[in-house]
Amino acid sequence: MFCEKCGNPLNEGTQFCPKCGAPVAAAAPAATAAAPDLAPSANASSGKIADVLDQNYYQLLRVAQTATEDEIRSAIKTERTRWSDRVPKGGEIGAKARAVVARIADAEATLLDPTARAEYDKSLQDSGEPVYQPTVQPNEKDWLDETFSLFLNGDIDMADFALGKTLAQQPNNPNAWFLASIIYMSQNKYDEANRAAQELLLIDPGNPSAYGVRGDYFHDKEKNIDKAIEQYERMYQTATARENDDYAREAQEKIASMRIEKLMNEEVPNIIRLEDEAGSAVGLNPRREAFERLQKYTNNVRSQVHEIYDAVPEPSDWFKQYNKEQLDILDECVKGYEAGREEDEKYFQRPLIANGIVLGVVLVATLIGGPLLGLLALLLGVGVINFLNSGAAFGFEVLSPNTNNCFMATMGRTRCLLIELGMILIGFFILATFGAR
């Protein structure tokens, strides 16, 4: 299987592409893989692979803007046949082929009408988007189309091999350099992908997909989130200028995912530090306060993640999943803190329970054997309690904890000694009251 978004090979059962984050529901077997769209995650190659649905009519028909009416009619016939033959394949390829055939019909209606064609040419000029003049000679093999087909079918190595012929044949074709950038990116050839994107920008300075590829390069290769965000912001600006809503939305998601990643990178060390502080706090109240600070801080980070996510209108499925994964990490932390606090509450009851057991033994011993046996039980009980409090046998070092597992190490010396003193006083009260009977 291959990812529809970036062409990355996938394992059976994978739910999301590990490279671009796209849902695997969109992935198709290599034999029928769909044209990879702009992958919205930080690791994806950007843009739509020579997407004919985004090309202008001249690019769609692969003719020059100066083409004659007869040349346009011939190109319409050729392209309509070529794409109509793909319709029976079904699936994503068939659906896209039907859409292209419909767009060819629109091109036919526009370019064969002199008035409509003049208005269309003016709109291309006003947009500032360069119109590529094809250099493929009649009866010459179109290597861009061949490379695209190889990539479409998941044969990345052959597509990479054919790419050399494509770039030699059509060195000024922006689609050729974009195809190069995503082929390289799918192979983790980051430097080559970045150079291809730079070549694309020299030909078409306002190409949003080129900025997307460069953003991926800075994130994946350079590990520089700030520079990646800068490139994605340019992607958004150029996509907005060209009124390409798909690119604009995907650029927003890339920017948001980068900001979330940057936030997590900055705040996770602080959360870990607060966790260490909570774990080393001594005493019930200090530990409770430390856990409350930790929980409040983590919830604040969670709110910031949600705020970044909410700023993206109509998020895609991959971005929803990405956001959920980040929030799940923070939610698990908060649940762990709550469980830790509950465990602390139970743990802090243990000294009371231990002292209560000792008093119960003293009472029984006093009732059965009198005050002497009760006193002996009390002395033994004090030794046991001191051992539990400090870890020292029979309490010879009762004023300082001797192990990290003793009561004093977690609950504090003062609390433990006060509880023990109370036990001794109650023990003597038992001896005086019940020993005289």
Whether 400 is in a domain gets the answer yes
Whether 161 is in a domain gets the answer no
Check whether residue 339 and residue 381 sit in a common domain: no
SS3 399: coil
CA dihedral 323, 326, 329, 330 (to 10 degrees): -90
CA dihedral 150, 155, 158, 163 (to 10 degrees): 50
Check whether residue 418 and residue 357 sit in a common domain: yes
The sign of the dihedral angle between the CA atoms of 166, 47, 27, 100 is: negative
**The whole model's pTM is what?**
0.58
- What's the structural domain count of the chain? 3
- Containing domain of residue 103, as a range? 57-128
| CATH number, residue 76 | 1.10.287.110
Check whether residue 357 and residue 387 sit in a common domain: yes
Whether 359 is in a domain gets the answer yes
Query: Tokens 């739509």 belong to which residue?
Result: 48
Whether 191 is in a domain gets the answer no
Dist CA 43 CA 254 (whole Å): 9
How many residues are given for the chain? 437
User: What is the three-state SS of 272-292?
Assistant: HHHHHHHHHCCCHHHHHHHHH
Check whether residue 358 and residue 319 sit in a common domain: no
Last residue of a domain, one of 67, 93, 128: 128
Whether 418 is in a domain gets the answer yes
Per-residue pLDDT 10s for the chain (437 aa) are 445 444 444 544 444 444 444 444 433 333 223 333 322 333 333 334 445 667 788 888 877 777 888 888 988 988 888 888 877 766 767 777 888 888 899 999 999 998 888 888 888 777 666 665 666 766 788 888 889 888 888 899 999 999 999 998 888 888 899 999 999 999 999 999 999 999 999 888 888 999 999 999 999 999 999 999 999 999 999 999 888 888 899 999 999 999 999 999 999 899 888 888 887 776 667 777 888 888 889 889 999 999 999 999 888 888 999 888 888 888 888 887 777 777 766 667 778 888 899 999 989 988 888 888 988 998 888 888 888 888 776 555 556 666 666 777 767 777 788 888 898 899 889 888 887 66
Q: 238 with 207: CB under 8 angstroms?
A: yes
